[in-house]
Amino acid sequence: MTENFFSEAFNTPTGWMHIVTDAERKLRAAHWENNGEDKGGRVLRLLRIQYGEHGFQLDEARAPSDARLALEAYFAGQIAAIEAVPTLARGTDFQRLVWAALREIPAGSTLSYGELAAKIGRPAAVRAVGAANGANPIPVVVPCHRVVGADASLTGFGGGLERKRWLLAHERMHTTSSVPHNLELRI
């Protein structure tokens, strides 16, 4: 069965982002261009991994999707705008468990991989949590950038550590939660 998806590209303060939504308006994939070169190639690779070479048809969106509008609002400082974006990504049961837990990390705060593993009831699965976090096809909305090393160091992020640093600083600047904003992150 072939799934029908819609592709959009838009500029963000962190570079051009490509997103893919489905007919039900669920966000399926997102990623950035790297230095203006990728032109959506990373998103296509993510889709091929999840749905197979011929498991999807990708068309350009005719109008901005709700997901795009929410992401644009997020990048403009309305951090909570992404919280209600519906997502759907294929993955193992464990990956989906980790991705769901990522969405529960409040904006402006971080968890370590170990803390995230404990949160899902699998404290010994730190490496598996890291692998699932790295396999997340929907960064920002499924906020894998909010996971850091045990010593608060910025560790792996598919969009690059500079983007991760920017996203965390952006969220801390624009959140009004009781989360401490003075947490020092290490590189």
Point out the residues that are catalytic.
144
What gap in Å lies between CA 22 and CA 15, rounded to an integer?
23
| Sequence-separated contacts (24+) of 173-182 with Cβ below 8 Å | 173/77, 174/77, 174/78, 174/79, 174/107, 174/108, 175/79, 175/106, 175/107, 175/108, 177/106, 177/107, 177/108, 177/109, 179/106, 179/107, 179/108, 179/109, 180/109, 181/108
Quick one: DSSP state of residue 86?
Answer: -
Residue owning tokens 């160091």: 153
Residue owning tokens 């592709």: 7
60 DSSP β-pair partners: 7
